[in-house]
Amino acid sequence: MDSFNKVVEVGEVASKFFHGMTLMFGGFGGVGTPPTLIDCLIESEVSDVHLIGNDAGFPWIGIGKFVVLGRAASLIASHIGSNPVAGQLMQEGKLVVEFSPQGILVERMRAGGSGIPGFASEVGIGTKLSYEKPVLDIDGKEYLFESALTADVGIVHARKADRYGNLVFNKTAQNTNPYVAMASQTTIVEAEQIVEVGSLEPDEIHLPGIYINFIIPSEGINWKWVWET
């Protein structure tokens, strides 16, 4: 593949998903989560997947579509309240969930993408969040050590991408997407619009293409799946 043309067909990225992988996904609820890539993930039939993202989506949209199938082994997220199926799976011991406060979670992603092993935070000291985490003493004050997060594969959603992978996100859909791309060994982008290299103004680029491996055109949300489930 031409390193300056990372655009491929949707079917070509299915082989990048594998059993037991760690998958990091962008988005907040359904906003900023790549719907076409989620459908591709489901169709790939991989299982025992370890998920990392802001939340568990909704049962009918976002990563929630994958979670409700019972093919996720674990999830690191800030909350799962919008997906009652995820809560049920957790209670039944079928989904291991690690909760991480939203700001801490995003910073763990950023650390992973920046090559930093972790950082110290006073958030969670004396609560259940501190269980099994190293406690650091810095100048007489206690901090939790929060480890960086990385993934085998990351999937993100962009409003616009050039063929090299320079990305523009749509308003709040920017949320965790840049950090997911940075922290993943292989990053796949779903873009609503794909333009030629040089078409984007430098100042409008939110994330440079150095972090991107593959780009697919977005097919939008499969509303037929939504209404039938």
| Structure confidence by residue, pLDDT tens digits, 176-216 | 999 999 999 999 999 999 999 999 999 999 999 999 999 99
Residue type, 185: Q
Mean of the pLDDT values across residues 77-92?
96
Confidence bin at 99 (pLDDT 50/70/90): very high
Domains and CATH numbers, the chain: 10-115+150-228 (3.40.1080.10)
Confirm whether pTM is higher than 0.75: yes
CA distances from 64 to 68, 83, 104, 179, 202 (A): 6, 7, 22, 20, 35
Residue 94 zone, left/alpha/beta (φ > 0; ψ -120 to 50; rest):
alpha
* Confidence at residue 128, expressed as pLDDT on a 0 to 100 scale: 82
Q: How far apart are CA 188 and CA 25, in angstroms?
A: 10
- In the beta sheet, which residues pair with residue 153? 23, 186
